[in-house]
Structure 1
Amino acid sequence: MKTETVLCITALTGACFAQSDAETSIWERERLAGDLFGVRNTLGSHGMDLRLEATNFYHGDLDGSGPEQLEFGGKLDLFFAMDGQKAGLWPGLFLNVHGEYRYGDASAQAGALTPVNAALISPRDSDDVFAFTNVVLTQAFSESVLLSVGKFNTIDLADRIFLGGRGVEGFMNTSFVAPPIAGRTIPISTLGAILSVLDEGKPLFNIGVLDSRSPLTGSGFDGLDDDEMTFLADYTFYTKIGGLDGTHTISGSYSTIDAFSLDANDYLRPPTGPGIIPTRQGDSWQLTYTFEQFLCQDSSDPKKGWGIFGILAVSDGNPNPFETSAVLGLAANGVNGSRPNDNFGVGFFWNGVSSDLKKTVRPIARVQDEYGVEIFYDAEIFPWFRVGADIQWVRPVLANNDDAIFGGLRTRVIF
């Protein structure tokens, strides 16, 4: 199997087999704990890697209809990856595990429908809780065909060059991390199977089936029911404009889910109360176009540079609370030569609330489309320690609520 194909599989599965930095200065090593007294070197020799990340937030509602206070919260992310061949099993086998422990308070929503801190909605948006949100086995049948099965963390799957980031790096608002137009039928963590096709080591085409109902804090290994299945597919085009890389992805999903229009889900908490009569709706679909285009690109590292990005999406609008969604922004991975590992981004998002949802909640609330702007800067202090600042202006979905400003700091340590 060619090296570039193995690297692509590694990226798809989230695996990262780090070399030992036991002899590196504590200020220069990639991970604070270094080689863990030889443990990582031993694991690495058997095709395994263990990584722990701790991200803390001091973030909240600075102005609006919320409590106008900063709150502390955070999460620990545990990653384990295995290359089956190096572990003594068989070629082409990969295992990827992601465990999450969430603690503290989430930012007050101030009437916003889309969570402003994506990191703190998984494994649950409140309380202290731990769960394995990703346990996936991948088998490469050739240099271009892979099959992955297990429990998927779909926020991990949404990671891109300028978008994604799980909320612990890059943008924090869910609209940029994992666009919520698909959140009604594609949970954060759920069972499924995905077949992937590569082209010269790059992801080209994916098709899969997922459970529409989320077993976030449980195993979920009770099988798929025919009335709660989501079928999804995407195709990616690769372009070069002026020698600069760009990607264009068309994706869509169809779900057999049978649900009420006001059912809460992993991403969203629609308004509810006395006098509301929710409608029950079967099946749901959505289509999404996503692009990223570099404006300048580091010749030594093609993932670094400045670029623009955008998302356009449409859905059936019931039971999905959004009919349309759009995102547009500018971001940088590596701000300049003196700050090559700092990240920056500014983006606008707009989520068009479905007419069905507006009619349903009219007895208790006037609902409007939700949109906003987010700006962040994430600075590398040491390779294993980052500090970021984030501010968001949001016009919330509840029309009687004031426009809200959210902001704060976050720190991230890689052990």
Structure 2
Amino acid sequence: MKSKPLLHITGWILLSLAAQAPAQDSLLDRPQLGGNLLGLRDLLGAHGTELRLESTQFYYGDLAGSGPEKLELGGKTDVFFAMDGQKAGLWPGLFLNVHGEYRYGDASAAAGTLTPVNAAMLSPRDQDDVFGFTHVVLTQAFSESVLLSVGKFNTVDLADRTFLGGRGVEGFMNTSFVAPPIAGRTIPVSTLGAILSVLDEGKPLFNLGILDSRSSGTDSGLDGLDDEELTIIADYTFYTQWGGHTGTHTFSGSYSTLNAYSFDASDYLRPPTGGPIIAFQQSDSWQLTYLFEQYLCEWGDESKNGWGIFGMLAWSDGNPNPFEYSAVLGLGANGVCAARPHDRFGVGLFWNGVSRALKSTVRPLTRIDDEYGVELFYDAAVTPWLHFGADVQFVHPVLSGNDDAIFAGLRSRVIF
């Protein structure tokens, strides 16, 4: 079963190489392995469309702890499609963005952790070989600063930032760094919704949206919104220039009408269970988050190149959210130096405070503690389209009976 994805990837590589014209740029310098595909990319671009394919392989697992100590193979193939409606012959201000994901193998690891340590393997489903469209969104721009987006949203894509986020394929892998885990109970990885956005000179300023609190996963999700399963989200970002270097500060929050148990599993969370538990469903969940990213130095033509620090503080009602508070702090680099503009580096600490409600609910069966740990990664660009990375995580898992765990492994990514 695991050989099929490798054959698919090999086929894409051979097709891409076979489609090259001698006059195209060097194989080692082009941004995608396939280059211009004999002018196909230019042709698509002239009609307002763009197609991109990425394939990421993981060799990852638990090296120490209470889980099976082994490394396993797994991976993702991501397909991205974008269309500018005006260039495609429709009307001004219309945009379409699609993200399809094929997940295969197993490199997710567990060892009693509540937040998954390999976020990339959560979607479109956290097990089996499966494909799904996790992001299909139509956006209408009413002006240069006001946009309305509707459709099926991939919330991991929405959470992508400079040093945090990244889908787990090029930056941090632990879910605590990829998406705020304190919202993991009520905001699925892929779900139906609508978001109104306000921009300031092309940069995000304010977002207000409404999402379905139930995950659509590999389903279409286009079956309407239930007023008993809605999550309202909002965020505001302001920008600073401290010491001449860029900084962002984002305040966000959400409120949900979802009825849920604090120990329910969700797309982002794996609370421990082991038998019958006496508990009551809770609703009217809320969370507040503050997130900052501050560059310490910047260089090059690309505005995101440089080193910086980041942090996050979040609070919630603690029931049905399994966390009452969450904190992240770290150091990251996009382009570690002028000679390595495509390499990425990051080291970060996370602490997720398990709610008193969840602790008391599972106490008849087991004892759980706060979950905390540290992650370190380096992602090296052999070429702009071929990346190799290494990642290691030290995690104190939520199950108090489990040993502290060490997760580690390698990953590779090809941009076609």
Q: Where on the TM-score scale, by shorter chain, does this alignment land: which range? A: over 0.9
Shift of residue 27, structure 1, vs aligned partner: 1.4
**Counterpart of 2:389?**
388
SS in structure 2 of the partner of residue 259 of structure 1 = coil
SS in structure 1 of the partner of residue 185 of structure 2 = coil
Confirm whether residue 309 of structure 1 aligns to residue 310 of structure 2.
yes
Q: Distance in 2 between matches of 1:57 and 1:373?
A: 20
Q: Distance in 2 between matches of 1:181 and 1:165?
A: 18
Confirm whether residue 165 of structure 1 aligns to residue 174 of structure 2.
no
SS in structure 2 of the partner of residue 124 of structure 1 = coil
Taking the TM superposition and a 5 Å limit, the aligned residue runs for 1:392-411 are 392-411=393-412
SS in structure 2 of the partner of residue 91 of structure 1 = coil
SS in structure 1 of the partner of residue 101 of structure 2 = strand
**Counterpart of 1:115?**
116
Shift of residue 299, structure 1, vs aligned partner: 5.1
Letter in 2 for 1:101: Y
Q: Distance in 1 between matches of 2:177 and 2:272?
A: 22
**Counterpart of 2:362?**
361
Taking the TM superposition and a 5 Å limit, the aligned residue runs for 1:7-86 are 23-86=24-87
**Counterpart of 2:5?**
none
**Counterpart of 1:258?**
259
Residues 140 and 150 (structure 1 numbering): CA distance in 2 closer, same or farther, change over 3 Å? same
Per-residue CA shift, 1:62-88, capped at 9, x if unaligned?
Answer: 111111100000000000000000000
Aligned partners of 2:109 and 2:118 also within 8 Å: no
Taking the TM superposition and a 5 Å limit, the aligned residue runs for 1:291-330 are 291-298=292-299, 300-330=301-331
SS in structure 1 of the partner of residue 41 of structure 2 = helix
Q: Distance in 2 between matches of 1:394 and 1:237?
A: 33
Give every structure 1 segment of 4 or more consecutive aligned residues whose post-TM-superposition deviation is greater than 4 Å.
Answer: none
Q: Distance in 2 between matches of 1:113 and 1:414?
A: 31
Taking the TM superposition and a 5 Å limit, the aligned residue runs for 1:198-347 are 198-298=199-299, 300-347=301-348
Aligned partners of 2:59 and 2:107 also within 8 Å: no
Per-residue CA shift, 1:346-379, capped at 9, x if unaligned?
Answer: 0000000010100011111110000000000000
Letter in 2 for 1:98: H
Shift of residue 413, structure 1, vs aligned partner: 0.1
Q: Distance in 2 between matches of 1:37 and 1:97?
A: 24
Q: CA RMSD in A?
A: 1.2
Shift of residue 269, structure 1, vs aligned partner: 1.6
Point out the more displaced range, 364-373 or 337-346: 337-346
Q: Distance in 2 between matches of 1:256 and 1:341?
A: 43
How many residue pairs end up in the alignment? 396
Letter in 2 for 1:201: G
Q: Distance in 2 between matches of 1:60 and 1:22?
A: 43
**Counterpart of 2:125?**
124
**Counterpart of 1:179?**
180
Aligned partners of 2:325 and 2:353 also within 8 Å: yes
Per-residue CA shift, 1:87-145, capped at 9, x if unaligned?
Answer: 00011111000000000003321000000000001111111010000000011000110
Aligned partners of 1:21 and 1:35 also within 8 Å: no
Per-residue CA shift, 1:276-327, capped at 9, x if unaligned?
Answer: 2132101100000000000001152221100000000000111111110000
**Counterpart of 2:145?**
144
**Counterpart of 2:4?**
none
**Counterpart of 1:106?**
107
**Counterpart of 2:134?**
133
Q: Distance in 1 between matches of 2:174 and 2:300?
A: 30
Identity %: 74
Q: Distance in 2 between matches of 1:253 and 1:21?
A: 53
Shift of residue 331, structure 1, vs aligned partner: 0.3
Shift of residue 37, structure 1, vs aligned partner: 3.3
Letter in 2 for 1:186: I
Q: Distance in 1 between matches of 2:216 and 2:374?
A: 32
TM-score of the superposed pair, with normalisation by structure 2: 0.94
Aligned partners of 1:106 and 1:126 also within 8 Å: no
TM-score of the superposed pair, with normalisation by structure 1: 0.94
Letter in 2 for 1:141: F
Point out the more displaced range, 146-155 or 259-268: 259-268
**Counterpart of 2:17?**
none
Q: Distance in 1 between matches of 2:26 and 2:180?
A: 40
Letter in 1 for 2:297: C
Per-residue CA shift, 1:21-61, capped at 9, x if unaligned?
Answer: 97111111111112233322221110100000000000000
Per-residue CA shift, 1:159-215, capped at 9, x if unaligned?
Answer: 001000000011000000012110110100000000000112211000010000010
**Counterpart of 1:371?**
372
Aligned partners of 1:22 and 1:34 also within 8 Å: no
